[in-house]
């Protein structure tokens, strides 16, 4: 490999590390190399500065009061909603709901479907053997409560859920397909556009656990054609 290319890569890595203050720390007099980002990612200085700016200059309940701090906080929230809408190519900023993370988002959707009587006894939920507990337990609990059936699509030797696996599990009782876009352990990426087409063709609701997707790929929820998309702050 060309030495200049290696030097350029090393320089880019050094510059990237500078964005993360925590990487200035040492452990046993050695620099930190942090690989647990699938669980929790450390924050760059820009994020830390934005948080400090908010608590220094705004910090009020949004859409709740008429004083200046509340007005400014509300405007900031709505500006952020527009940014997220563009980031995932959603239909409207009104489609964006903020919560504490993917787990909270998944539970919010699952409980909303439960309370809206979306499910009836003996309906079926399709999920996969690759799911994080956060995208299994809410559906298992609902299935127990309403006497639903959960079907599991299995992954192949490459860690991929093939669309045929999903298609073969569908019946006229299938109400929702719920799955992750990128697995948090294997890092495998699923073909969500194919699965989105299957769900749409069969008039089945599609929920995507996107906890691992935002930092790694360009997201377009319109192309995926999903009904719900839960993303983790990064």
The pLDDT-based confidence of 234 (bands split at 50, 70, 90) is low
Residue 17 placed within a domain: no
In this structure, of 8-12, 84-88, 137-141, the range with the lowest mean pLDDT score is: 8-12
Is the model more confident about 233 or about 225? Answer: 225
Rounded average pLDDT over 61-87: 95
What pLDDT does residue 10 have? Answer: 82
What pLDDT does residue 182 have? Answer: 94
Token pair for 224: 């995926």
Residue 207 placed within a domain: yes
Residue 106 placed within a domain: yes
Residues 6+ apart with CB under 8 A from 98: 77, 80, 81
DSSP assigned state of 227: S
Residue 113 placed within a domain: yes
E runs forming strands in the chain: 26-27, 30-31, 124-128, 149-153, 174-180, 205-210, 228-231
Residue 5 placed within a domain: no
Residue 89 placed within a domain: no
CB 195 within 8 A of CB 163: yes
Number of domains in the chain: 1
What pLDDT does residue 12 have? Answer: 86
Does 233 score more than 70 pLDDT?
A: no
**CATH number of 123's domain:** 3.40.640.10
> Angle at Cα 118 formed by Cα 114 and Cα 122, nearest 5°?
90
Residue 154 placed within a domain: yes
- Residue 6 sits at φ, ψ, to 5 deg, of -60, -40
HSE-up (13 A, CA, CB side) for residue 111: 6
Mean pLDDT, the chain, integer: 93
Residue range of the domain that includes 184: 99-231
Does 70 score more than 60 pLDDT?
A: yes
Rounded average pLDDT over 123-129: 98
The residue whose two tokens read 């997201």 is: 219
Token pair for 67: 């004083």
Rounded average pLDDT over 55-79: 94
C-alpha span between 214 and 3 (Å, rounded): 32
What pLDDT does residue 130 have? Answer: 95
Helix, strand, or coil (residue 182): strand
The pLDDT-based confidence of 39 (bands split at 50, 70, 90) is confident
Residue 52 placed within a domain: no
CB 210 within 8 A of CB 183: no
Rounded average pLDDT over 98-120: 95
Does 207 score more than 90 pLDDT?
A: yes
Percent of the chain with pLDDT over 70: 96
Rounded average pLDDT over 135-148: 97
What pLDDT does residue 7 have? Answer: 64
């Amino acid at each position: 490999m060309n030495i200049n290319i290696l030097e350029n890569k090393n320089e880019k890595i050094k510059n990237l590390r500078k964005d993360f203050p925590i990487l200035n720390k040492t452990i046993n007099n050695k620099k930190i190399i942090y690989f647990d980002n699938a669980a929790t990612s450390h924050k760059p200085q820009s994020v830390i500065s934005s948080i400090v700016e908010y608590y220094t200059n705004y910090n009020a309940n949004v859409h709740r009061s008429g004083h200046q701090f509340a007005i400014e906080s509300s405007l900031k929230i709505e500006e952020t909603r527009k940014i997220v809408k563009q980031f995932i190519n959603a239909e409207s900023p009104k489609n964006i709901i903020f919560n504490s993370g993917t787990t909270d988002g998944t539970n919010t959707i699952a409980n909303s479907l439960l309370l809206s009587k979306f499910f009836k006894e003996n309906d079926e939920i399709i999920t996969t053997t690759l799911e994080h507990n956060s995208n299994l337990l809410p559906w298992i609990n609902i299935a127990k409560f309403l006497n639903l059936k959960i079907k599991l699509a299995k992954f192949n030797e490459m860690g991929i859920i093939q669309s045929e696996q999903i298609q073969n599990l569908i019946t006229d009782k299938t109400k929702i397909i719920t799955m992750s876009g990128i697995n948090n352990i294997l890092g495998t990426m699923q073909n969500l556009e194919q699965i989105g087409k299957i769900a749409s063709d069969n008039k089945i609701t599609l929920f995507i656990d996107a906890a691992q997707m935002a930092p790694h790929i360009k997201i377009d929820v319109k192309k995926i054609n999903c009904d719900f998309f839960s993303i983790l702050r990064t």
